[in-house]
Amino acid sequence: MKKLAALLSALAMFTADPSQAQDWSIAIHGGAGTLQRDKMTPEMEAEYEAALLRALDAGADVLKQGGSAMDAIQASIVLLENDPHFNAGRGAVFTWEGENELDAAIMDGRDRSAGAVTGVKTIKNPILLAETVRQDGRHVFLSGAGAEEFAKERGLETAPPEWFATEPRRKALERMKADPKISALEVDLKFGTVGAVALDQHGNVAAGTSTGGMTGKRWGRIGDAPVIGAGTYADNRSCAVSATGWGEFFIRVGVAHEICTQLRMAKEAESTSIRGMLRSLTKNKDVAARRAEATRRAQSIADAVMADVAGLGGDGGVILVTPEGDALFSFNTSGMYRGRATSSGVNEVAIFGGEAAPSSAPEH
């Protein structure tokens, strides 16, 4: 049996088609939660969709021109950070003390290098600081004043507090503080994130996530977004994932890493099985069916991990891309600001979900 497996594996190598064109894909998100159509005006819906489309197009344009997945996700996330509609960078929620504290993470699937920052207050685009940490290479995760000092040494653009602050976010905090019926825990159930994942024409994947955290967060709370493996992960062997949701549960499950690991293990088990090796000999036949099977596998794994989050009491969503070119979503809330584009012609943005139950955390 071992000799047969070795022979089939060798034959599969000779049937490879290195000239086959490489797909590209990108997916973005702007947070998940209880998003109800009847509570959003058509004008507001159009504004959010236009903002999502601008960010999606920025990343897709990089990929179309042969640019890297890392450049594509940063192009998208910077626009989302600069847009006050979303809870990241400008438009970030306020902490209990009335400040904006920002977190971000980025990861390159080629070598699994990563950079992350948390608790920064003056960095205009935290995702760019996370990338600078990754490129520096000495550390993965910087926080607070140290991260600010590192950013200053590297010449990253800063902004004053009024750049990040918006009146709707300030009023949201004031309403919470003014309502004696709202406990500290209930205040902490309002949070948000933006993110992007991409596959480039060179077969590399990347993931990035940026957030202002939870409205009314206290005691230096850190969610899943900047935690590599929880809210952000990328591995060329499996996928790239960016998450949004109730961070404590995403950290406990290790959502982004769990999805990538399960997908990698499923692919490895398939490739080393006799059935998988036989199929690899005819890899150019029935391509559509094989691609559909890969898509179902990735979607099933993402859905199962999100079900695990829900089983613990958490909610939210993920976006992911695979080396096969899929751009997928999975969320257990009533909506998620999201978009995706692929080399096969998909180009769409959406806000609301299907029959998902309302979230207990209204503003992810």
- Active-site pick, 132, 193, 232, 322: 193
Reported as a single tens digit per residue, the pLDDT across 35-55 is: 778 778 899 999 999 999 999
Q: For the ranges 38-47, 69-78, 240-249, 271-280, which has the lowest average pLDDT?
A: 271-280
DSSP assignments along 205-254, one per residue: EEEEEEEEEETT--TT---STTSBTTTEEEETTTEEEEEEE-HHHHHHHT
Residue 251 near residue 130, CB atoms below 8 Å: no
CA distance 349 to 50: 9
Q: For the ranges 49-53, 141-145, 284-288, which has the lowest average pLDDT?
A: 284-288
CA distance 309 to 31: 16
| 193 included as an active-site residue | yes
Q: Residue 312's pLDDT is what?
A: 97
Q: For the ranges 136-140, 185-189, 218-222, which has the lowest average pLDDT?
A: 185-189
Reported as a single tens digit per residue, the pLDDT across 161-172 is: 999 999 989 988
Can you give the pTM of this predicted structure? Answer: 0.88
Q: Which of 61, 145, 142, 161 is nearest to 104 (CA)?
A: 142
CA distance 277 to 49: 44
